[in-house]
Each structure stands twice: as structure tokens, then as C-alpha cells.
Amino acid sequence: MERVLQLGPLVLPWAMLILLAGWQLGSLVYERLSARQGLAPGPHGWRLALLALLAARLAFVLRYAGEYGAAPWSVIDIRDGGWEPWAGLGTALLYVAALWLRRSPWRQTTAAGLAAFAALWFTGLALLQATAPSGPAGLPAWRGVALDARSLALPDLRGQAVVVNLWASWCPPCRREMPVLLQARQAHAQLRFLWINQGEAPEVVTRFAAQQGLPATDVLLDPASQLGQALGHKALPTTLFYDAQGRLRAVRAGELSAATLAHHLAQITGAKP
């Protein structure tokens, strides 16, 4: 489940921060050991990192080729968070193995840098897992009013998988991901999609929903942003994925692409991509 560090309007996933810290540590170890052995740093540090990132992205794109095929340009938009980390790590290991087979002078320093990265990465992910909040047992006890004037309590939806999107009309990524969410709603009739507006006036929400073609029954008002605050997710957009038992299975802070949405939907439906 994605956890983020929020610094004002800036939202940074902890997993990405750990990855960057690991890369910095690995690069430092590689360069220091190379200098100690009288070797120029060489290109292997940045080559390994670049190949690993490309492999991680390519593996995710191939896994969701259908979704990316409908919008090929989105392949290069890495803001959607679509990565296969194990593919990247596997590629890095193959790169180091190739250096050993060629008896490259940099084989030991590159392997040491990769080992330092992996140690920090695994440790960081383990700490994230160990410190993850237990969270509510089910859907949060929140009640809102939809644009059709009907009241809806989230716990009443138990028994059906639910996707909760926290958004605002002034938020550019919120607007960009609306068509993706609408298409998924049409393709997954068994799921309930809810767009819960955070902090805007009813007339603003009504006008925007009409422009986007959002269903009035599934657009709810939260004028005081109570739900986002209660859940600890103030960044917009944030999308939460609950299974039919009401358990929170995934959180995406940031814009969704069709591929990353399909990835998270599989976690609450059990469907394979």
C-alpha cells in the first residue's frame, strides 16, 4: 500500500524516496571503491541504474499493454507510478553478472554498489511494512450527500468492492484522470466508484460533474474535507481501493493512468492482468 510524505502541496511516495536514497548510497560505494582500486569511476554506475529503470518500466508496460496501447503516449508519462521493481533488480543483477563473465575491472565495485543499494532498499521497505498503520477494519464511518440529494454512508456498501476517489475541480491531475475512472466504471459494473469532492461548494461540484459526465448518484460532497483528514490523505487526487469485505487493499496518491488503475483494481477483484 502506497505511503507518502506530504510537504505542503508536494507529495512524495516513501518507496521512491527509499529508492533514491539507495541509488545515492550505491553510487557512493561504487565510486569510492573504484577510486580506492585506482579505477576511473567509469560508466557502469549510471548505465546500471538506467537499464534497471527502463526494465522496470518496460515490464509494467508489457504487463498492461492493452491499456497503454489505447494511449501510447502515456508510456513515457512515469508520473502514473507504473513500475515492476523486481524486473529492474533482475536486470541489474544480470548486468553485474555480465561484468563478472567479462572479467571487467569494475565487476567488484559495481557488485558492491548494487549490494549497498539492495540492502538499503530492502531495509527501507521492511521498515515501511513494519510501521504501516493498522487502519480501520472496514470502510470508514463517513456519510455524505450525493448530487442527487441522497445520503450515502460508506459502511453500507460492504459486500461490494468500492473505489473512492478524493478530488477537487481546481486540481489538474484530478481532472486528467476523470476519463480513466469513468471508463473503468463502465467496464466494471460490479464495482462501485465514488467521487468524493474535498472542500468545494455544491454549485462548483455540480457544474464540474456535469461537464465531465460524472454520475450524480456517485458524486458526493465533503465541504469540510472531513474524509480526507480522517483517513490521513490530504493530497489530491487520492484513490482508495476497498474489497467486498470493506478492507482497504490499495491507495494511490497521485494521478492514475488506465494501466495503474487496472493494476489496483486487480487487487480488489482478484482478476489477473
pLDDT digits (tens, 9 = 90+) for 161-208: 999 999 999 999 999 999 999 999 999 999 999 999 999 999 999 999
Question: For the chain, what is the radius of gyration of the CA atoms?
Answer: 22
Last residue of a domain, one of 99, 130, 161: 130
* Mean pLDDT within 35-58: 92
Q: Both 149 and 87 in a single domain?
A: no
Q: Both 123 and 199 in a single domain?
A: no
pTM of the model: 0.85
> How many domains does the structure of the chain reveal?
2
CATH number assigned to the domain comprising residue 229: 3.40.30.10
Domain residue limits at 217:
143-269
Q: Both 120 and 156 in a single domain?
A: no
| pLDDT tens-digit readout, 52-77 | 999 999 999 999 999 998 888 889 98
Among 15-19, 65-69, 116-120, the range of highest mean pLDDT:
116-120
Q: Both 166 and 242 in a single domain?
A: yes
Q: Both 180 and 213 in a single domain?
A: yes
Judge contact between 215 and 192, C-beta under 8 A.
no
Q: Both 119 and 195 in a single domain?
A: no
Taking every pair of C-alpha atoms in the chain, what is the biggest distance, in angstroms? 74
Please give the helix or strand (H or E) that residue 263 lies within, else none.
helix 258-269
The pLDDT, as a whole number, for residue 13 is 83
| pLDDT tens-digit readout, 201-257 | 999 999 999 999 999 999 999 999 999 888 888 889 999 999 999 889 889 988 999
The set of residues, in sequence order, having a beta carbon less than 8 Å from that of 79 and lying 6+ positions away, is 173, 254, 255
Q: Both 20 and 124 in a single domain?
A: yes
